[in-house]
Amino acid sequence: MKMVIKEICLGSAMAVVVFLFFVGYNVFPLLVLGGLGCLLYFLVEKKSGWSGSQHSFYKGSDDFSFDDIGGQAPAKQELLEALNFALHADKTAKMGIRPLKGILLTGPPGTGKTLLAKAAANYIDSVFLSASGSEFIEVFAGVGAQRIRQLFRSAREQALRAKKAGAVIFIDEIDVLGSRRGTHAGHMEYEQTLNQLLVEMDGLKSDDRVKILVIGATNREDMLDPALLRPGRFDRIVRVDLPDKEARLQILKLHCRNKPLAEDVDLEKIAGESFGFSGAHLESVANEAAILALRENSSKIHQRHFQEAVDKVMMGEKLDKKPGKEELYRIAVHETGHAVVGELLRPGSVSHLTVTSRGRALGYMRQIPENDLYLYTLDYLEKQIQVFLAGAVAEKIILGSQSTGATSDFRQAVHVARQIISAGLSPLGVVCEDVLPEKLFHETIQGIIKKQEQEVEAILLPRAEVLEKVAQILLDREYISGAELRAFLEEANTVH
Ligand code: ADP
């Protein structure tokens, strides 16, 4: 309809211009004016967004459900309960429960918040519109607020067109538009946009023809304006966490559904090795494994492809860096130091070590996390520091000097030492870090690290021979598996 009116107006204007031209009128100024008008119209249309099909529109079709999301059981359960309120609005209204207007999903990126919102839209048979908080922030005052109005209008129109009773508006990175008012000094635009969102949400009623549910996603709940979290707006907050081992396995299985897996694939092992990975990382692991298999012209994906995919997602792409022979030997000694100490402190934990450059690392040793741990003891943290320091200590023992290769190891060791102090596990006992003199803080970190360095020296000095031998093998072969390393250590034990 809008298009037809536009065309009629344009046609009539042109006819008038042609008529004036024929009766001898100077139409040049009119043409310039018309051109400017068109340009202005185009700019405003473009800036105000949602007039066309710029937003993603997901038809609440049957092809996406909560079953397609791995893990996240508590989040799904909480979300489902909230959605059931929306689904059985009559029942809840009878009980005097006010309608649900907004749900906030909070958690790290890549954990499936968008997927949950899509599944939610499908569950309550609604159309799905998604936008990102940053799309509403413009330099032009009022444009963000106008976009919010259009987004809600568009949600209603699309739901009616698709003959759905509801619409889910998903706003990703809602903290960008919904951060505390007053934090953006001198920027009224943010406030106008947020105010408009609040107005739209307050205007949602249970007897509206189209029921709109707003789902926001953020990783920074603490940044949000308290007005957004007030009852009647986003009053359901659902936490979407990084997946635990069981959930990682489910996610991997979901993403391997359409992939030809070889007999030797052990997804449970991969799930165990990928502690800290989000769903998006795991999707990437499955995808990269398939790409690696294809590169080798293999018709099936093997466990080694998955192993390498984990390395790639964790550390980055393999690099073509070719250090000289001497440097490469130093890298081999360094990684062997990490691996020997890692294996001795936690037998069976080393997955593999290599001198292939990947991402920012010239070589690396990967340890399999014990189990998903959420609390760490002092013993655990000290052993972690020992593994970090082992590379530099090995260099010192075998080559007589250290190198800059240990810089990031030291940074990590200092980070763990800080954790020890913060948790009250250092010789200082429980402290208030805010008033702890910097000098004392620094000396305590140094003390913790020095002590662990001595422990590592005590482990590696008597094993200099095996250290050298394994480093040499690593230099020749580029890669040593955990099982091979264990065999070398065993052999060294029986010889002595
Ligand atoms: P977020 O919105 O939390 O940043 P997304 O929902 O956009 O994350 O997830 C990005 C991608 O990661 C998805 O397209 C999917 O492939 C994968 N993914 C994330 N979480 C899960 C999960 N729980 N189950 C299956 N796949 C997931």
Candidate of 63, 115, 134, 256 to mutate for ligand 1, largest count of ligand atoms within 8 Å of Cβ: 115
| DSSP label of 244 | -
Percent with pLDDT over 90 in the chain:
56
Q: What is the pLDDT of residue 85?
A: 81
Residue 187's pLDDT is 60
Contact 340, 474 (CB under 8 A): no
Amino acid identity of residue 111, one-letter, is T
pLDDT reading at 8 higher than 90? no
Q: Residue 117 in contact with residue 240, Cβ under 8 Å? A: no
pLDDT of residue 185: 52
Higher pLDDT, 269 or 190: 269
**Which atom of ligand 1 has the smallest separation from the CA of 69?**
24
Average pLDDT, the chain: 86
What CATH architecture applies to the domain 245-315?
Answer: Orthogonal Bundle (1.10)
Q: Which of 69, 204, 187 is nearest to 137 (CA)?
A: 187
Residue nearest to atom 13 of ligand 1 (CA): 280
Catalytic residue status for 453 = no
Nearest CA to ligand 1 atom 7: 114
**Rg over CA atoms, the chain:** 30
Q: How far is it, in rounded angstroms, from Cα 353 to Cα 358?
A: 12
CA distance 262 to 305: 10
Angle between the 407-422 and 438-460 helix axes, to the nearest 10 degrees?
Answer: 120
Distances (CA, A) of 437 to 415, 422, 425, 427: 18, 14, 18, 15
Length of the chain: 496
Q: Which two tokens stand for residue 246?
A: 């069981």
Q: Residue 478 pLDDT > 60, yes or no?
A: yes
Contact 166, 124 (CB under 8 A): yes
Q: Could you read off the pLDDT of 338-388 as tens digits, one per residue? A: 999 999 999 999 999 999 888 878 899 998 887 777 788 999 999 999 999
Q: How far is the CA of 166 from the centre of ligand 1 (A)?
A: 24
Say which residue the tokens 């200099």 belong to. 464
pLDDT tens profile 157-216: 999 999 888 899 999 999 888 776 666 554 666 778 888 888 888 888 766 788 899 999
Q: What is the pLDDT of residue 495?
A: 57
Give per-residue pLDDT as tens, 21-58.
Answer: 777 777 777 777 777 766 665 555 544 444 333 444 44
Of 132, 282, 283, 284, the one to substitute when testing ligand 1's pocket (max ligand atoms within 8 A of C-beta) is: 283
Q: Give the ligand 1 atom nearest the CA of 250.
A: 24
* pLDDT confidence of residue 236: 87
User: What pLDDT was estimated at residue 290?
Assistant: 96
| pTM of the shown model | 0.79
DSSP helix/strand/coil, 105: strand
Are 368 and 351 in contact by the 8 Å Cβ rule? The answer is yes
| Spacing, Cα 279 to ligand 1 middle (Å) | 5
pLDDT at 338: 96
Region for residue 55 given its phi and psi (left: phi exceeds 0; alpha: psi -120 to 50; beta: otherwise): beta
User: Thinking of the domain 325-495, which architecture would CATH place it in?
Assistant: Up-down Bundle (1.20)
Torsions phi, psi of 6, nearest 5?
Answer: -60, -45
Task: Determine the Cα–Cα distance for residues 316 and 321; give it in Å rounded to an integer.
Answer: 13
Q: Which of 54, 176, 171, 56 is nearest to 113 (CA)?
A: 171
At residue 7, the pLDDT reads 62
Distance 180 CA to ligand 1 centre (A): 28
What is the CATH T-level fold of the domain 52-239, as seen in this structure? Answer: Rossmann fold (3.40.50)
pLDDT at position 386, please?
97
Helices (H), 64-219: 73-87, 89-94, 113-123, 143-161, 174-178, 188-202
CA 74 to ligand 1 centroid distance, Å: 16
424 touches 444 (CB < 8 A)? no
Calpha distance 481→351 (Å, rounded)? 6
pLDDT score of 6: 59
Contact 395, 337 (CB under 8 A): yes
Strand order in the sheet with 479-481: 364-367, 350-354, 479-481
Q: In the 8-state DSSP scheme, what is residue 219?
A: S
Are the beta carbons of 233 and 198 closer than 8 angstroms? yes
What pLDDT was estimated at residue 209?
81
| Residues within 6 Å of ligand 1 by CB | 69-72, 109-115, 217, 251, 254, 279-280, 283
Atom of ligand 1 minimally distant from the CA of 107? 3
- Cα dihedral 230, 234, 238, 240 sign: negative
CA 105 – ligand 1 centroid, Å: 13
Rounded CA-CA distance 386/285 in Å is: 29
Angstrom distances, CA of residue 218 to CA of 142, 279, 435, 462: 24, 16, 33, 52
Tell which atom from ligand 1 comes closest to the C-alpha of 72. Answer: 23
d(CA 172, CA 164): 23
Nearest atom in ligand 1 to 71's CA: 23
The rounded Å distance from CA 332 to ligand 1 centre is 37
Give the three-state DSSP class for 250. helix
pLDDT band at 447 (very low <50, low <70, confident <90, very high): very high
Q: List, in order, residues 6 or more apart from 331 with CB less than 8 Å away.
A: 323, 355, 362, 363, 405
Q: pLDDT: is 88 or 490 the higher one?
A: 490
Q: Which of these, 326, 329, 327, 348, lies nearest to 339 by C-alpha position?
A: 348
The active-site residue, picked from 200, 273, 288, 335, is 335
Determine the number of helices (DSSP H) and then strands (DSSP E) in the chain. Answer: 18, 9
For residue 247, give the ligand 1 atom closest to its CA: 23
Kindly state the tokens that stand for 240: 């979407």
Query: What pLDDT digit, counting tens, does each position of 391-441 carry?
Result: 999 999 999 999 998 999 999 999 999 999 999 999 999 998 889 899 999
> What residues contact residue 115 under an 8 Å CB cut-off, 6+ apart?
64, 68, 69, 279
pLDDT at 204: 82
Cα(170) to ligand 1 centroid in Å equals 15
Q: How far apart are CA 303 and CA 264, in angstroms?
A: 6
Q: What is the 253 CA–ligand 1 centroid distance (Å)?
A: 14
Phi-psi region of 432 (alpha: psi -120 to 50; beta: other; left: phi over 0): beta
Point out the ligand 1 atom lying closest to the alpha carbon of residue 70. 24
Query: How many angstroms separate the Cα of 422 from the Cα of each of 381, 414, 440, 486?
Result: 12, 12, 13, 35
CA of 254 to the centre of ligand 1 (A): 11
